[in-house]
Amino acid sequence: MKGFGPARQKALEARGITSPEQLLDRLPSGYKDTTVTTPVDALSDDMQCAFEGWIDGPAHLHRAHGMTWVSARVRDESGAIRCLWFNQPWMKQRLHEGERLLFFARIVRRKTGLYAVNPSIETQRCITPVYAQVPGVPQKLIRDAVLKMLSTCECEDVLPERLLQRHQLCPRIQALRQVHFPQDAQGLAQAKRRLAFEELLLFQAAIAGATLERPSGTRISCSDADAEAFWRAQPYVPTGAQLRVLREIFNDLSAPTAMARMVQGDVGCGKTAIAFAALFAAARHGFQGALMVPTEVLAAQHMRTAEAMLSPLGVRCGLLTGKLSAAKRREAYEAIAEGRWDIVIGTHALISEGVQYARLGLVVTDEQHRFGVRQRTRLSLKGESPNVLVMSATPIPRTLALVLYGDLDISVVDELPPGRREVRTRIVSEEKRDDLYGFIRQEVSAGAQAYIVCPLVEESLPEDECASATQRYEALRAGPFRSLRLGLVHGRMRAADKEETLRAFEAGELDVLVSTTVVEVGVNVPNASVMVVENAERFGLAQLHQLRGRVGRGERASWCFLMARPNERLRTLVETSDGFAVAKRDLEIRGAGEFFGTRQHGEPRMPALMLCAEAALLKEAQDAWRELREDPHLHSEAEALVRAARKKFEKDGLHLAKN
């Protein structure tokens, strides 16, 4: 095919595209629709759309801060908007006063009003696919290649004809043609629905195939006496949800097959205590336990908790992280190999080559979404089919969780301990920023601490007013918080510097921590009473709820301030503190694709689902798979889907789920 030389083929291979079928399966990440135009007076912040108008006055070229940009006013019958073209000085000659043009642009709001940023000038009205960038491969080349392949490729349909008819789904080749080059909005919606349904069905088939092969496990004969011994030693009474979930875990541990269970629940529901109760039971019956967490700060926190909870019960705990000196690491390896440590707590250092366990019976991973299937598997392979328990503080609606984590049995801790403080949440406009800073200074003077979370790390383009964490830190340090002790944390810092800053904040050596979302999980500072989220409109509701959960962990009344213009979506957080209610609303607004898209780094596992926002499709696909599995007359169809599913998802390591 013309245009694809060795360099471009290599660039495609780096994205996992080595065949025509794989290129066709690489669905558009979005569309540029110029078939419908929006009147200028109906344009609003964060819209991406087409609008039409004439150039109202001369275009101007500006230079400042090492950048150039062209500005021009575009007017239609309803009003006018200022358009900005950055680093495109030639646009000044392209724009002629009085000329009527069709534009497509992203609309942003600044203090001085709405702007259209880098509008493209369109010559025809159509729906154009937009693909995720492949460095060195132009969009037009990908579009041309896809168009040619759609006319020449054979396209096998993996869904049985009976399913297509029952669920009113179009054939696969028709769906691919419409999803890449849609004729209209209705055809595109049908294509997205068809391909998303297929992905959901195959994903469940892949997981089901793995689950059926779950191996015989390390049997730990737990009993009510183990639970009673653990809870009796704690300074509080467990909730009904904690008792129920621990009973489910004990039933799994006592079974002949290896446990693979996920415990999910809202921030502060007591998941950690459940994990330690399970680890205590394993140790009581002569088995080692391992608890793997994503950060060294969290590992140290869990170590302190374990010593308080388990040492009085005679359980010996040890900490293994990458920070240990060579001598300390050798000592740790020996203690683990000789079984002198009943429970080992640590980061991914737990799965390093030098670690040999004496009798590993239970593996617990905290903050499930931070570890891939392969990391969980590497830890479980350290023993002979140990039981696996994964913890997640990210509330996910149950229907979605069953599809997302179909390789795991699911327990939900749906009850908060009495006395847990509710975090009061408010939406704060830019005009009230000075008042907010005054409130934070007041809280700090009373002995509290505060987080300020920003969505970007480094300096953004001039057209993007979203302040980065670094910019915000420097501005606060030189201005309103110059008398306070400030820290800065973001994902691009050296790991040691990041860990040290988090430790200092946890120890009370810093008053205010400015950060990106690296504090979303695994930071426990009971003294922090204020969470400020900059540009809150850029975050999903579930993520905002996670950030809110960083405060309200101690005795102080706590607050979460969302810096944004009020809207219905953000008001959900003001109205409810129930994480599952928030996640359900997030699912309704953003669609299931957001959840699937963030499960792994890199290419989304389910590109069609990223485009289809129908939450109801989850249940429909789930019901279809259940019927295929349970009806003996349909077993051949089910087996064919499992084979197709394994072929599709094997590169994701899904075949390892059985471990």
Tell me the pLDDT tens digit for each residue of 21-44. Answer: 888 988 888 889 999 999 999 999
Same domain, 387 and 445: no
> Which of 57, 53, 52, 61 has the alpha carbon at shortest distance from 92?
61
How far is residue 455's CA from residue 468's CA, in Å, rounded to a whole number? Answer: 7
Is pLDDT at 403 greater than 80 in this prediction?
no
Q: Is the dihedral of CA 250, 261, 547, 589 positive or negative?
A: negative
Question: Any idea which residue has 């569309």 for tokens?
Answer: 31
Same domain, 94 and 233: no
State how beta strands 100-110 and 113-122 pair: antiparallel
Is pLDDT at 375 greater than 90 in this prediction?
no
Angle value at C-alpha 607, between 29 and 393, nearest 5 degrees: 110
How is residue 269 written in tokens?
């529901």
Question: Any idea which residue has 């593996």 for tokens?
Answer: 363
The predicted pLDDT at position 135 comes to 86
Amino acid sitting at position 7: A
The predicted pLDDT at position 204 comes to 79
Q: Is the dihedral of CA 273, 278, 284, 287 positive or negative?
A: negative
Same domain, 388 and 431: no
How is residue 230 written in tokens?
């653990």
- Residue 276 in any domain: the answer is yes
Domain end, chosen from 69, 100, 122, is at 122
Which whole-number Å values give the CA distances from 7 to 1, 18, 21, in the listed order? 14, 13, 20
State how beta strands 67-75 and 48-55 pair: antiparallel
Same domain, 519 and 566: yes
How far is residue 360's CA from residue 357's CA, in Å, rounded to a whole number? Answer: 6
Is pLDDT at 359 greater than 80 in this prediction?
yes
Q: Predicted confidence band at 586 (pLDDT cuts at 50, 70, 90)? A: confident
Percent of the chain with pLDDT over 90: 46
Domain end, chosen from 104, 122, 140, is at 122
Percent helix, percent strand, percent coil in the chain, to nearest 5: 45, 20, 35
pLDDT tens for residues 146-197?
999 998 877 888 898 989 999 999 999 999 999 999 988 899 989 999 998 9
How far is residue 73's CA from residue 93's CA, in Å, rounded to a whole number? Answer: 15
- Residue 614 in any domain: the answer is no
Same domain, 367 and 450: no
> Which of 341, 339, 383 has the alpha carbon at shortest distance from 361?
383
What residues contact 319, with CB distance under 8 A and at least 6 apart?
A: 299, 300, 303, 332, 344, 345, 346
Coil, helix or strand at residue 342: coil
Same domain, 379 and 463: no
Same domain, 361 and 301: yes
How far is residue 201's CA from residue 352's CA, in Å, rounded to a whole number? Answer: 36
For the CA atoms of 34, 169, 28, 130, what is the dihedral angle to 10 degrees? -10
Question: Any idea which residue has 């090492």 for tokens?
Answer: 66
Angle value at C-alpha 388, between 387 and 393, nearest 5 degrees: 150
- Bigger pLDDT: 593 or 201? 201
- Residue 104 in any domain: the answer is yes
For the CA atoms of 460, 466, 469, 475, what is the dihedral angle to 10 degrees? 100
pLDDT tens for residues 97-132?
999 999 999 998 887 889 999 999 999 998 999 888
**Confidence (pTM):** 0.66
- Residue 344 in any domain: the answer is yes
Question: Any idea which residue has 């306070």 for tokens?
Answer: 484
Is pLDDT at 601 greater than 50 in this prediction?
no
Is pLDDT at 613 greater than 90 in this prediction?
no
DSSP assignments along 548-593, one per residue: HTTSS-SSS--EEEEES---HHHHHHHH---HHHHHHHHHHHH-TH
The predicted pLDDT at position 602 comes to 39
Instruction: Give the chain's domain count.
Output: 3
- Residue 500 in any domain: the answer is yes
- Residue 156 in any domain: the answer is no
Q: Give one word for 218, left, alpha or beta, with left for phi > 0 and alpha for psi -120 to 50.
A: beta
Same domain, 547 and 467: yes
Same domain, 431 and 381: no
Q: In this structure, are residues 209 and 645 in contact, taking their beta carbons and an 8 Å threshold?
A: yes
Q: Predicted confidence band at 595 (pLDDT cuts at 50, 70, 90)? A: low
DSSP state of 509: -
Is pLDDT at 567 greater than 60 in this prediction?
yes
The stretch 538-557 carries a mean pLDDT of 86
The predicted pLDDT at position 241 comes to 93
> Which of 41, 356, 382 has the alpha carbon at shortest distance from 218?
382
Same domain, 364 and 243: yes
Same domain, 377 and 464: no
- Residue 494 in any domain: the answer is yes
Give φ, ψ of 274 to 5 degrees: -65, -45
Structural domain including 572 reads: 424-576
> What rounded mean pLDDT belongs to the chain?
85
Domain end, chosen from 560, 576, 592, is at 576
How far is residue 400's CA from residue 394's CA, in Å, rounded to a whole number? Answer: 12
How is residue 517 written in tokens?
């979302």
Same domain, 435 and 551: yes
Q: Is the dihedral of CA 622, 624, 626, 628 positive or negative?
A: negative
* Crossing angle for the helix pair 172-180 and 139-152, to the nearest 10 degrees: 160
Here the CATH number for the domain that contains residue 84 is 2.40.50.140
Q: Predicted confidence band at 655 (pLDDT cuts at 50, 70, 90)? A: very low
Amino acid sitting at position 309: M
Here the CATH number for the domain that contains residue 357 is 3.40.50.300
The stretch 5-21 carries a mean pLDDT of 88
- Residue 619 in any domain: the answer is no
How far is residue 49's CA from residue 52's CA, in Å, rounded to a whole number? Answer: 10
62-66, 94-98, 501-505, 632-636, range with greatest mean pLDDT: 94-98
> Which of 552, 462, 457 has the alpha carbon at shortest distance from 514?
457
Q: Of the ranges 28-37, 68-77, 441-450, which one carries the lowest mean pLDDT score?
A: 28-37
Q: In this structure, are residues 558 and 424 in contact, taking their beta carbons and an 8 Å threshold?
A: yes
Q: In this structure, are residues 279 and 291 in contact, taking their beta carbons and an 8 Å threshold?
A: yes
DSSP state of 416: P
Instruction: Report the run of H or E that residue 502 belongs to, with start and end.
Output: helix 495-506
How far is residue 227's CA from residue 246's CA, in Å, rounded to a whole number? Answer: 8
